[in-house]
Amino acid sequence: MNYQAFFKKQLADLKDEGNYRVFIDLQRKRGQFPEAVWTSDKSHSDVAIWCSNDYLGMGQHPKVLAAMHDAIDRCGAGAGGTRNISGTTHDHVVLEQELADLHGKEAALVFTSGYVSNWAALGTLASRIPDCIVFSDSLNHASMIEGIRQSRAEKVIWKHNDLEDLEAKLKAADPDKPKLIAFESVYSMDGDIAPIKEICDLADEYGAMTYLDEVHAVGMYGPRGGGIAEREGLMDRLTVIEGTLGKAIGVVGGYIAASAELCDFVRSFASGFIFTTALPPAIAAAATASIRHLKQSSVEREAHQATVETVRRRLDVHGIPHVQNPSHIIPVMVGNPAKCKFLSDTLLTEFGIYIQPINYPTVPKGTERLRITPSPVHTAGDIDRLVCALHALWSDCQLARMPMAAE
């Protein structure tokens, strides 16, 4: 086989479809996020980032940076081993206690990323529990899908956020078999929110465990930033709450929070937890500082929601079509991969605004979009420049508008 020709052809097909991914080379500026320097073809220019998952700007919070510096000075760079072989530092232990407390659970277990936590925890639970059937929401994240697939357990996909479909499928399953319902709270592409309470009610009725991915809600919802389940007083009804330290927490890493037995079980059997180097202690210390801050400060959450409302209102005034949803994610619908890429390229090169186009396979074909994620550190001036740029592009490209709202 001509391997190089094969790779080339596959990539050419992606490019023809408009689905080839181009990375934007950025240098974030500490203390000035969302401003960053974009490097392209040997030139450098300033851009404002409008698509980061550092939702609250905690990636540059002084307390987080101080904790990280301090840990490097105390402990050095790496953890020096897997968790089992010398890599469990005191910073990891403290972080896991902080996470268990955040979600009102007995224990928590930290992984190298949110992706790995879903893949390893779901993979381990579903493969080790004999005859387990996994009921997976149809829009679950790739990391959950891969974990379930890897477990080789029986999988039943239910229609996204559809309680009737979930119940019908639970009812049709063998009542004696163990069951696990896997879903998310905030779905990151449409920004809609799962009916968590009703799903827990069904789980109770049919004897199922529940596994909730709160990746897009941790730090951002609930009085202490415990997520949507905290806001709705439901944390104790979930078997497993999974989250990331890489989005609103502003660092990197992932975790599950659950009963002491369940965490110990995953700790003891999950290959993706056991056979990999632990996160650097500085990462654990920074994440702990970020979580502790967000537990006692709602300033960031409130400012964040206010920015989201302002951006939405300003888009409405110009009739820029965006999906209404109860979360902080603003999907501006374009519905065509080439146009979506063109809009994103033009925003970057002409307006100094960076919004990554979201195309297939991240979202279904025909629903290509610009996914805007405001933060509390975007200023009124940043918002002005964003909305004016979109307004100009919508006119230039003769894109469809919604009926315009009053100023």
Ligand X SMILES: *Cc1c(COP(=O)(O)O)cnc(C)c1O
Smallest distance, ligand X to C-beta of residue 245, A: 7
Structure tokens at 161: 């956020």
Smallest distance, ligand X to C-beta of residue 397, A: 29
Among 50, 115, 255, 265, binds ligand X (CB under 6 A): 115
> Residue 143: helix, strand or coil by DSSP?
helix
Residue 171 annotated as catalytic: no
Among 87, 114, 123, 250, binds ligand X (CB under 6 A): 114
> Mask: binding to ligand X, 199-238, rule CB under 6 A, as x and -?
--------------x-xx----------------------
Residue 118 in the binding site for ligand X (CB under 6 A)? yes
Among 123, 225, 226, 254, binds ligand X (CB under 6 A): 254
> Are 366 and 338 in contact, with CB atoms under 8 Å apart?
no
| Residue showing the smallest CB distance to ligand X in the complex | 114
C-alpha to C-alpha distance for 263 and 110, rounded to whole angstroms: 10
Span from 88-96, 112-120, 342-350, 381-389 in contact with ligand X (CB under 6 A): 112-120
C-alpha distances (whole Å) from 71 to each of 66, 193, 249 are 9, 37, 17
The smaller minimum CB distance to ligand X, of residues 183 and 394, is found at: 183
Smallest distance, ligand X to C-beta of residue 213, A: 5
C-alpha distances (whole Å) from 268 to each of 19, 88, 174, 275 are 40, 14, 29, 11
Closest alpha carbon to 307 in 220, 368, 394, 389: 220
Among 52, 89, 136, 143, binds ligand X (CB under 6 A): 143
Span from 25-33, 95-103, 114-122, 202-210 in contact with ligand X (CB under 6 A): 114-122
The smaller minimum CB distance to ligand X, of residues 48 and 217, is found at: 217
- Looking only at residues 323 through 342 of this chain, which bind ligand X when binding is defined by CB under 6 A? none
- CA dihedral 291→292→294→298, nearest 10 degrees, is 160
Residue 371 in the binding site for ligand X (CB under 6 A)? no
Closest alpha carbon to 153 in 140, 178, 134, 180: 134
Which residues are paired to 345 by β-bridges? none
Residue 344 in the binding site for ligand X (CB under 6 A)? no
Span from 89-97, 111-119, 163-171, 349-357 in contact with ligand X (CB under 6 A): 111-119
Residue 141 in the binding site for ligand X (CB under 6 A)? yes
Catalytic residue among 105, 179, 247, 341: 247
First to last CA, the chain: 62
Smallest distance, ligand X to C-beta of residue 123, A: 14
Residue 113 in the binding site for ligand X (CB under 6 A)? yes
Structure tokens at 231: 């806001």
Cis status, amide bond into 34, omega within 30 of 0: yes
- Looking only at residues 163 through 202 of this chain, which bind ligand X when binding is defined by CB under 6 A? 184, 188
The smaller minimum CB distance to ligand X, of residues 47 and 194, is found at: 194
C-alpha to C-alpha distance for 238 and 211, rounded to whole angstroms: 7
Q: How many residues bind ligand X (CB under 6 A)?
A: 14
The smaller minimum CB distance to ligand X, of residues 190 and 230, is found at: 190
Among 147, 246, 281, 331, binds ligand X (CB under 6 A): 246
C-alpha to C-alpha distance for 178 and 357, rounded to whole angstroms: 40
Smallest distance, ligand X to C-beta of residue 144, A: 7
Q: Which residues contact 398 (CB under 8 A, 6 or more apart)?
A: none
Residue 123 in the binding site for ligand X (CB under 6 A)? no
> Are 229 and 214 in contact, with CB atoms under 8 Å apart?
yes
Residue 288 in the binding site for ligand X (CB under 6 A)? no
Smallest distance, ligand X to C-beta of residue 53, A: 7
C-alpha to C-alpha distance for 387 and 200, rounded to whole angstroms: 40
- Give the start-end residues of each E strand in 132-246: 133-137, 154-158, 179-184, 208-213, 240-244
DSSP H/E element including 100: helix 90-102
Span from 68-76, 110-118, 316-324, 384-392 in contact with ligand X (CB under 6 A): 110-118
Structure tokens at 28: 């974030």
C-alpha to C-alpha distance for 245 and 288, rounded to whole angstroms: 9
C-alpha to C-alpha distance for 123 and 155, rounded to whole angstroms: 12
Residues designated as active site: 247
The residues of the shown chain that bind ligand X, judged by CB under 6 A, are: 113-115, 118, 141, 143, 184, 188, 213, 215-216, 244, 246, 254
